[in-house]
Every structure is written in C-alpha cells, then in structure tokens.
Amino acid sequence: MAVRSASPEDIYATHPEKKVSLYFMVLGFIALTIGVIFGPFQIFNYADIDLYPALQPLFKSYYQGLTLHGVLNAIVFTQFFIQGSLLYLQARDSNVRPLMPVAWAAWWIALIGLALAAWPLLLNNATVLYTFYPPLQGHWAFYVGAALIIVSSLVSVFLSVEMWVRWKKQNPGKPTPLVTFMTTATWMMWGLAAIGLVVEAVFFLIPWSLGWIKGVDPLLARSLFWWSGHPIVYFWLLPAYVSWYGLLPRQAGGKLISDPLARMAFLGFLVFSTPVGFHHQFADPGISAFWKGVHTVLTMMVAVPSLMTAFTIAASLELAGRANGGKGMLGWIKALPWNNPSVVAQLLGAIAFIFGGAGGIVNASFTLDYVVHNTTWIPGHFHLPVATASTLTFFGIAFWLIPHITHKPLAAPRTALAGVWLWFVGMMFMAFGMHMMGLQGVPRRAHISAMSAVNDGIYASSAFYMVFNAIAGVLLTIAAVQLFYVLYATLFSRRRLPADQVPEIPFAEAISGPEGKNGVKVMDRLFFWWGAAVVLVLIVYMPTLVQLFIHMVPAPGMRLW
Amino acid sequence: MDNEKLIHAIERYERSWLLFALVMIVVFLIFIGYTLTGFAFYVPSAAERIDPTTVRNEGSLFANPRVEKTGDNVYTAYVLAQAFTFLPNEIRVPKGAKVVFYVTSPDVQHGFHIRGTNVNVQVIPGEVGKVEHTFNEAGEYLVICNEYCGLGHQDMIGKIIVEDK
Ligand code: HEM
Ligand SMILES: [Cu+2]
Ligand SMILES: [Cu+2]
C-alpha cells in the first residue's frame, strides 16, 4: 500500500470545520504568548525584584502589563481555544457539520473584538485590569472589544446547541454521544453565565465610556460582573474535563469507567455553576449576609461534581495503568504513558487541580475569605486550576489535535515533555510562595518591588517565601519558552505525516455505557436542566439585583494611571 | 475480574467517596455557620448609601475623617479610603477597645485590610461599609489597600496604633 501525505486541500475538504477550529486555537495561543510574557515579571515583582524599568518605553506600568496578562491569558486564550477545540470535538463525536458560515462569523467577531480591545490596552488607555471595576474608566474600544469577544462566545453557544438539536432530530430516542453531551452542557452553562457580563457591558460600561451616561453604580457593576465571573472559571475548566473524561482514558491506554457518571457531573455544573457569584463579594458591603450565606452553600455544592470527577478519572487511570501491566498499590501509576507529552500535560494539570480545589473550598467558606481576600493567596490559588489545570490540559490537547488537523508532526516531543514538567513544578513553587505571602497579608495586584522609601521593608517578613517566587520565575520562563517553541515549531513545520501516522481522535470507550439506562434519558433533556439553572439563578440574584437597580448611586469615571 | 463485577466494585467505592465528600462539605458548612454566630461583625455590612461626589463636603459624615470615643471602651472611626491614602492616616486607640469602622471612598474602589486581623473590606464608592474589631494586643497595625486603584496602589498604606493603657 503506497502511503502518501495528503495535500492541505484534501485535509480540509472532508472536514471544513478543521480549519476554523485551528484558526480559533492559533489565535488563542498567540494571545497566550503575549499574555504570558508578563507572568515572570510579575512573579519576580513578588520576589521583590523589579524588572519593569526595562519595559518602560513599551509598557508604561506594572498595571498595564497585569491588565494584558489577565485579559489575554484568562479571557482571550481560554475562550478562543475552547471555541476551537470544542467545536471540532463535538462535530466529530456526533458526526454533524457545524453551520460553517456561522462558525467563521464567530471567528471574525472574535478577531475584531480582540483587535479593538488590544488597541487601548497597548496604548495604556485601559489599564483597569481584567475585572475593569468601575469607577476606573477605560477607553470605549476596550469595552466594545470585550463585548464583541463575548458575543463571539454566544455565537459558539448557538453553534453547539444547534448541532446538538440537529443530531437529536436525526437520531430520535438515542442517547446523546458523551462528548457531545459534555460540550453542549458546557456551552449551555456559559450561555446563562454570560448574561451578567452582557448586561454590564451593554447597559452600563459601553454607554458610560462613550459619555452617554454620567456614571455607573460600582456595586451593581460588580454584582453583574461576578454573575459571570465565577462560572467563567467553570467555562475554563469544563473543556479540560471533557478531555479528561472523553479522551484521556483512551490516551492512557484504558477506558472511561462510567459514562452516566460523567453526564451527571456535567449536569451538576450546568445547574450550579452560576448562582454562586457572591462568594467574590463576601467583602462587599451592600450585599446582605443572608444571600452571601446562600451563595456559600451553593458554591460548596459545585464542589461535588469536581469531587466526583476526581474519583472517576483516577479510577479510569488506574484501570488504564493495570491494563498496561502495572501491578500493586502504585505500580499502575508507573505504567501510565509518561513518555507522551499530551498525557503527561493532562495528568499534571489534574494533580494541580487537587490543590486548586482545596484552596477554592477555603475561599468559598464565607468568613474564612476575610483572611485571604485580595491577598496574593488568590492568584496563588487560581494559577492552579486555570494557569495549570486548564492551560496544561489545553497544551495537552493541542499536542495531538494540531498534528491531527494539520498532519504536521509534533515538533520536539522531548522538549514538550520537559516544558510540561517545568511548568507544573514552577507553578507549584509559585503557588506555595504566593499562598504563604497572602497569609501574611501581602496584597495582590500590587507593584510591591517599587514601593516608595517610607514603606520599604513592610513585606520583609515574607522574604523566605519570596525565594520560592524567584525560583518559580526562572522555572516558568524556561517552561514557557519550551512550550511555545514546540507549539510554533509544529505549526510552522513543513513536514506532513503520511496518512497512516496522523493521530486519530482518541475518543474513549466507556466500560459502563449509556445504553438502556433510564437516568441517561432524563439527563438528556438538557433544555429542561438549563431551565432549572435559570430559575435557580433568578431566585438567588433577583432580590439583590432589583434592590440595586432601584437604588442606583452612579459614580463618575476616573483614570488614575 | 469480569467487567460486571469490576463496575459494581467501583460503584460501591464511588458511593462511599461521594458520601464522604458530602459529609465533609456539610461539616464545613456547620463550621461556617458557627463562625457567623460569633464573628458576624467581620462581615462588612452596609451602613448606608452615600453620594461619592459629595462625601467630602461640609455636613457629610466623612467631611472630617476621625476617630471618636463613642462609648465605654468603644471607638468609632470614620475612614475615607481615597487615592492613594487613608484618612485619617493614623488611628490611635487603646488596647482592648472595640473599634467600629465606617469606610467609604470618594473616587474608585479600594481595599481596607488591617493586616493580621480579619478586617478585610471592599471599599466601594456609594457604599458605607461597617465592620468591627477589638484590638487585644498593643502595637502598630498596617492598613493595606488590597484593591487596585491606580498607579499609587502599592503605596496606599495606613496605620492603626494600639496603645497600652
Ligand atoms: C509563566 C507563567 C505565569 C506566571 C509566572 C504568572 C504569574 C502571575 C502573577 C505573579 C500574578 C499576580 C500579579 C498581581 O496580583 O499583581 C498573576 C496574575 C494573573 N494571572 Fe498569571 N502567570 C502565569 C501564567 C498565567 C496563565 C497561563 C494564566 C491564565 C490562563 C494566568 C492568569 C492570570 C490572571 C487571571 C491573573 C490576575 C490578574 C489580575 O489580578 O488582574 N496567568 N500571574
Ligand atoms: Cu469564584
Ligand atoms: Cu489601592
């Protein structure tokens, strides 16, 4: 049999959604490349090493860099990568082609939004951080650009739900395929979650930045922001779960334990992700302790599907390890494919998430939050779920998905492996340093390495933990160079794999499948569950939001940078 | 082991794990409820809403940021958190006194974190936040702005001096 590499036209001809997915993912990675540059500078700042004078001509302040870091990494990279990868996985899993013109429209809206938002960010006209709390007022293009980026995500919600509905019509009575179920539930969850940000942007931030209204009520704006601000974290995480449940078991050499349990976890997220935002406002006056308590209880509820996931994934991996010949209590761990960067990236991400989850439960514990709120504990915490679990998993997905789409071999797999490990270890150092400094009261979002002489030395008691941050800075710089090198070397490679060596999509089989289970039928009614989520959100948000709407105290905008 | 048996074994373990997780979460919630019965004064409450553009004007509660003795061993502090200082920048109270803080902002959001205590308030223009703390140890406490508020953020630091009587 003559093996021949496919020409680019052939590659895309059978599956045109490949191209739009690739475009989304690459745009996301470009954003990440720029956003991550500031990371080492920030962690050296928290080691009391000030490298910002070197950036001076291009970037005006620590805070401009921090705004770029938060926006490009957490908002742009995550969302674009998710739009690209989930679209493709769902299309292939259910064998339904997305509405291609709509998919391309989503990409163009995202690109235009990114360009609009980047312009004031790079010119130092929107140094308001990625939470952009009023009354700090950025340039209108920043808010319009950000709004377009969200609009693009809503188009992706439509694309996914439309594909799912089409599949349902063509397959009456059959259970939705697992990966399709998970991606559709993820997008539906985000469709409800995004409403807070949309309302904040459309009714307040955009009219305000254009000068049509004089002020914005900061508390109302915060409340709308955190309506989306918490579930956005699940929006970053669930695509990683899609891979852990739907693909990783097969990549590790085994099967998923239970398909119905995976669905149950995703339903838990669909229903409970959004009605919890007040755990970001425990320190806000103006929100009653009663409702803060209700959100606390619901936040704890969302921990349950993650704890479920921990079990199912670990059990699936154990079976995989045993299938590979691993014996004994821990032998199965050694028998996992530790030479495969895609698998290792995801495994290390999952391990980091254990610590991230524990910290998250602390943050969610209402009164305990006063110990850590707005200290370096918080970035120390969320670099575990987002910058490690999700980011490493997304790299792990890219390591097989980009070769799969482009037919280009993964460049330098050993470098990829080293980069993944270093990233994980570096993030662990950083998490330790930042968590501990937070307990000593060091504030987040602060250029502490450039404090004025009168305040010199007030954080000296954290000197020991600063050493961890400095080490993290070195490790993460090397890791970032390695990972981006592998990524771009793959993308720019001229080699094409022979058709029989192109990686397949590793959809995992389940040992306990969905067929004939009554629960699966009930869970398949996604619109019903989405409706339940809407009702829950209305119950926990309306009393407070209506009050705030009625008694608005608008504050004028300010630019203090 | 065949698949059926394996699945049953795993499902049994999974049920125990979930039960354990739920119990753990309920225990956490009970602890949280307990702290609320004793330390609810750390939960910032809304004293009132106030127009941020006029808080500094004559007649406003914050026209003259200050500490007042308002009872037997009770002090009330009216604090303005503004870019980039706290007013009054230095608060003096005796050891063992209960201090009631009222905090607001005339410009952007700030933080009001008394380092080493559980006083940690988001200072929001338009809101007067209220929290209480009893200082049982003499010494100097730093008040740290822990919400980004502009270029001077890292230097927005105030002081509370608790004096041995
Ligand atoms: C080389 C890797 C990275 C390093 C060394 C790093 C370091 C840091 C540090 C030290 C902070 C705290 C800054 C402050 O509070 O003043 C921070 C903030 C942040 N980082 Fe990273 N980071 C890295 C990668 C990432 C990635 C991959 C993501 C997300 C996908 C991310 C998302 C964020 C976000 C959302 C913030 C908060 C920004 C804010 O408070 O406004 N980081 N980072
Ligand atoms: Cu949250
Ligand atoms: Cu500040």
Task: Say whether pLDDT at B15 is over 80.
Answer: yes
- Going by C-alpha positions, the residue among A453, A57, A459, A452 that lies closest to residue B152 is A452
Q: Which residues of A are catalytic, by number?
A: 230, 234, 381-383, 444-445
Distance, C-alpha B91 to centroid of its chain = 17
Secondary structure element (H or E) that encloses residue A215, with its range: strand A215-216
With CB atoms and an 8 Å threshold, state whether B107 touches A374: no
Secondary structure element (H or E) that encloses residue A367, with its range: none
The tens-digit pLDDT sequence of chain A (561 residues) is 345 565 666 777 788 999 999 999 999 999 999 999 999 999 999 999 999 998 888 899 999 999 999 999 999 999 999 999 999 999 999 999 999 999 999 999 999 999 999 999 999 999 999 999 999 999 999 999 999 999 999 999 999 999 999 999 999 989 999 999 999 999 999 999 999 999 999 999 999 999 999 999 999 999 999 999 999 999 999 999 999 999 999 999 999 988 999 999 999 999 998 888 888 998 889 888 889 888 889 988 888 899 999 999 999 999 999 999 988 889 999 999 999 999 999 999 999 999 998 888 888 888 888 899 999 999 999 999 999 999 999 999 999 999 999 999 999 999 999 999 999 999 999 999 999 999 999 999 999 999 998 888 899 999 999 999 999 999 999 999 999 999 999 999 999 988 888 899 999 988 888 877 788 889 999 999 999 999 999 999 999 999 999 988 999 999 999
Q: Residues 305 to 364 of A: which have CB under 8 A from any B CB?
A: 307-308, 311-312, 315, 319, 361
Sort out which chain A residues have CB atoms less than 8 A from B128's CB and list them: 285
User: CA A466, CA B97: separation in Å to the nearest integer?
Assistant: 35
pLDDT digits (tens, 9 = 90+) for B49-86: 889 999 888 878 888 888 999 988 899 999 999 999 99
Sort out which chain A residues have CB atoms less than 8 A from B146's CB and list them: 373-375, 443-446
User: CA A413, CA A555: separation in Å to the nearest integer?
Assistant: 54
CA atoms within 13 Å, Cβ hemisphere of A201: 22
User: CA A88, CA A15: separation in Å to the nearest integer?
Assistant: 9
Mean pLDDT, residues B148-158: 95
User: CA A57, CA A470: separation in Å to the nearest integer?
Assistant: 25
User: CA A147, CA A125: separation in Å to the nearest integer?
Assistant: 17
Ramachandran angles phi, psi of A558, nearest 5°? -140, 150
Task: Say whether pLDDT at B47 is over 80.
Answer: no
With CB atoms and an 8 Å threshold, state whether A283 touches B120: yes
3-state secondary structure chain B: CCHHHHHHHHHHHHHHHHHHHHHHHHHHHHHHHHHHHHHHHHCCEEEEECCCCCCCCCCCCCCCCEEEEEECCEEEEEEEEECCEEECCEEEEECCCEEEEEEECCCCCEEEEECCCCCEEEECCCEEEEEEEECCCCEEEEEECCCCCCCCHHHCEEEEEEECC
Strands of the B139-144 sheet, one edge to the other: B90-94, B157-163, B139-144, B110-114, B120-123
Question: Are A218 and B124 within 8 A, CB to CB?
Answer: yes
Provide the pLDDT for residue B2.
Answer: 67
User: CA A278, CA A222: separation in Å to the nearest integer?
Assistant: 10
With CB atoms and an 8 Å threshold, state whether B116 touches A441: yes
CB of A295 within 8 Å of a chain B CB? The answer is no
SS3 assignment, position A555: strand
Q: Between A61, A281, A374, which is nearest B146 by CB?
A: A374
Ramachandran angles phi, psi of A211, nearest 5°? 85, 10
Those residues with Cβ within 8 angstroms of residue A516's Cβ, 6 or more apart along the chain or in another chain: none
Those residues with Cβ within 8 angstroms of residue B35's Cβ, 6 or more apart along the chain or in another chain: A366, A367, A368
Question: Are A194 and A167 within 8 A, CB to CB?
Answer: no
Question: Are A378 and A467 within 8 A, CB to CB?
Answer: no
Residue with CA at minimum distance from ligand 1 atom 40: A445
Confidence of residue B46 (pLDDT cuts 50, 70, 90): confident
Task: Say whether pLDDT at B48 is over 90.
Answer: no
Q: What angle do helix axes A413-439 and A391-406 make, rounded to 10 degrees?
A: 160
- Going by C-alpha positions, the residue among A66, A70, A155, A166 that lies closest to residue A108 is A155
- Going by C-alpha positions, the residue among A158, A225, A230 that lies closest to residue A198 is A225
User: CA A145, CA A143: separation in Å to the nearest integer?
Assistant: 5
User: CA A476, CA A256: separation in Å to the nearest integer?
Assistant: 33
Cis amide linkage into residue A8, ω under 30° from 0:
no
CATH class of A15-554: mainly alpha
User: CA B108, CA A218: separation in Å to the nearest integer?
Assistant: 9
User: CA A18, CA A415: separation in Å to the nearest integer?
Assistant: 26
Place of tokens 């953020």: B153
SS3 assignment, position A456: coil
Place of tokens 């074994």: B9
Q: How high does pLDDT run on average in chain B?
A: 90
SS3 assignment, position A176: coil
The alpha-carbon radius of gyration of chain B (Å, integer) is 23
* Span from the CA of B153 to the centroid of ligand 3 (angstroms): 4
Sort out which chain B residues have CB atoms less than 8 A from A208's CB and list them: none
Cis amide linkage into residue A77, ω under 30° from 0:
no
Full DSSP string of A224-272: HHHHHHTHHHHHHHHHHHHHHHHTHHHHTTS-EEEHHHHHHHHHHHHHH
Provide the pLDDT for residue B58.
Answer: 80
Q: Between A283, A300, A553, which is nearest B121 by CB?
A: A283
Give the Cβ contact number of residue A474 at 10 Å: 16
Disruptive mutation site among B79, B108, B148, B160 for chain A (greatest number of A CBs within 10 Å): B148
Positive or negative: CA dihedral B31, B37, B40, B42: negative
Mean pLDDT, residues B155-163: 94
Provide the pLDDT for residue B105.
Answer: 94
SS3 assignment, position A510: strand
CB of B79 within 8 Å of a chain A CB? The answer is no
Provide the pLDDT for residue B165.
Answer: 73
Secondary structure element (H or E) that encloses residue A554, with its range: none
User: Both ends of chain B: CA-CA distance in Å?
Assistant: 75
CB of A105 within 8 Å of a chain B CB? The answer is no
* Beta bridge pairs of residue A435: none
Distance from CA of A135 to the nearest CA of B (A): 5
Provide the pLDDT for residue A2.
Answer: 45
How far is residue A432 from each of residues A353, A356, A368, A384, A465, measured CA to CA in Å? 14, 11, 19, 11, 8
* Span from the CA of B137 to the centroid of ligand 3 (angstroms): 27
With CB atoms and an 8 Å threshold, state whether B45 touches A551: no
- Going by C-alpha positions, the residue among A497, A480, A376 that lies closest to residue A426 is A480
- Going by C-alpha positions, the residue among A146, A124, A133, A145 that lies closest to residue A63 is A124
Question: Are A27 and A114 within 8 A, CB to CB?
Answer: yes
Q: What angle do helix axes A526-550 and A218-229 make, rounded to 10 degrees?
A: 170
CB of A373 within 8 Å of a chain B CB? The answer is yes
Q: At A502, which amino acid appears?
A: V
